[in-house]
Each structure stands twice: as structure tokens, then as C-alpha cells.
Amino acid sequence: MIRLYDYLESGNGYKVRLLLHQLEIPFERVELDITRGATRTPEFLAMNPNGRIPLLELEDGSRLAESNAIQFYLAEGTPLLPGDRLERSRVLQWMFFEQYSHEPYIAVLRFWVHTGAAEGMDEAVLQEKREKGHAALAVMESHLAERDFFVADAYSVADISLYAYTHVADQGGFDLAPYPALRAWIERVRAQPRHISITHPC
């Protein structure tokens, strides 16, 4: 059985958990509390020198890090990863967007609020995160205004990548009220078969 090293509150971990559930792939989940340094131990760093979750361990002992790389691997040969060359590249386009233009602002601000780190932090730093997070949400809103999903009008790992932190953006102080297409998309993702919540105990 494959093993997932994870932290239940993590949106990056959730991407992989949600995909595993939707593909009905059995797995063992190992909880690591990242707020207590569990991914910085010598034992974990020997498995992933970058010291981050999620980390997927395959049945043959091979390991794969980075949430979107793990998703790409798991979705290969399934309807959640298009077979067409251009559409696959567009899936990657949105997964890269999530990591570079979305996650550093929306996910980071959520984490700071969740851990209390935002209290007493320089307001200019927080405001920059808010502005860039809203810029990412605006890009998504524009794209979704004329389509149901991000690529090829079909649910894919591109949607999972962006859904993970977007649907809990309010936990970082982001108001989604100005983004009706985005909110409708969240409901479409939530309605997908075998959907689980971000803190669903696996």
C-alpha cells in the first residue's frame, strides 16, 4: 500500500488526499505536525531533504515530493489528466500558476492566521499578501466566467490544485463575495464524486 506523509490542515496535503479518494486508491496516511517541526527531523529529512509535506511513498519504496508533481503522477491514465498534448500543458499551466501566483499569498496568509503568526506582523507585509492573493483570484474569476472548469471544460487535477486553498481562502481573510464565477466553481468541485473535506479523517 502506498503511504502519504501529510498534515491534515495542509491544502497541499489535501490535494493529494482528495485525488486519492476520488481515484479510489487505498493509502496509509502518516500525520506529521509541521507546526512542531515534525518534518525537520533527521528521519524525515532523509526521505525528503526539502523538509516538506506531502510526501508520497510508493509500494516499491520510491518517494515523490511536491503536491502537484504527486497529482500529475497519480492522475496519469485517468480522466483527471487529459490525454491531448495541449490540454495536458494547460493543466500544468494552471498548476504552475497555483504554486507561483496563488499559493504564496492565499495559502501563506491562511497559515499565518491559523498559527497566530499574523498577530503583530507588519501590516504592509500582510497587505501585500492580500493584494497579490486577490490578483490571483481575479485571474481565476475571469477564466471561469465562461467555463465550468479550468481545462477542456472537464474536472481535472488543475481544479484540485486551485480548489485546495481557494475554498478555504476565507480562513486567511479573503472575501470571495466579489467572485461569483469562482464561488460557483467551488460548488461544482464540491459536488464531484467522492469529494472529502480538507480535514476529513482518512
**CATH (domain of 117):** 1.20.1050.10
Residue at which a domain ends, from 75, 101, 126: 75
Which of 45, 75, 105 is the endpoint of a domain?
Answer: 75
Domain span at residue 24? Answer: 2-75
Domain count, the chain: 2
Q: Note whether 68 and 99 are same-domain residues.
A: no
pLDDT at position 69 is 98
Read off the C-alpha cell for 115: 498559527
Angle among Cα 144, 112, 194 to the nearest 5 degrees reads 45
List beta partners, residue 30.
5
Q: Is the pLDDT of residue 202 over 90?
A: no
Please tell me whether residues 186 and 106 are part of one structural domain: yes
* Same domain flag for 103 and 164: yes
- Smallest CA-to-CA distance from 167 within 202, 191, 151, 146 is with 191
22, with CB counted inside 10 A (0-12, 13-18, 19+), is: buried
User: Same domain for 92 and 143?
Assistant: yes
- Residue 201 pLDDT more than 90? no
Contact 16, 4 (CB under 8 A): yes
Instruction: Please check the confidence at residue 120 and state whether its pLDDT lies above 90.
Output: no
What is the pLDDT, as a whole number, of residue 200?
87
**Is residue 197, in this structure, part of any structural domain at all?**
no
What average pLDDT does the segment 189-201 reach? 94
Look at residues 75, 99, 122 and tell me which one is the last residue of a structural domain. Answer: 75
What integer is the mean pLDDT of 48-52?
97
> By mean pLDDT, which of 14-18, 105-109, 117-121, 184-188 is the weakest?
117-121
Query: Interhelix angle for 180-190 vs 123-144, to 10°?
Result: 80
Q: Tell me which DSSP letter residue 99 carries.
A: I
17 occurs within a structural domain: yes
Q: With bands split at pLDDT 50, 70 and 90, how would you rate the model's confidence at 96?
A: very high
What confidence score (pLDDT) does residue 5 get? 98
Whether residue 94 is found in the same domain as residue 169? yes
Confidence of residue 71 (pLDDT cuts 50, 70, 90): very high
- The mean pLDDT value for 13-19 works out to 98
The answer on 91 and 49 residing in a single domain is no
* Spatial separation of the C-alpha atoms in residues 177 and 154, rounded to whole Å: 24
| pTM assigned to the model | 0.96
pLDDT over 80 (residue 116): yes
Please give the mean pLDDT across all residues of the chain. Answer: 96
pLDDT digits (tens, 9 = 90+) for 154-180: 999 999 999 999 999 999 999 999 999
Confidence band of 114 (pLDDT split at 50, 70, 90): confident
Q: How far apart, in whole angstroms, are the C-alpha atoms of residue 98 and residue 173?
A: 18
Same domain, 97 and 68: no
Query: Quick one: 19 and 65 in the same domain?
Result: yes
pLDDT over 90 (residue 134): yes
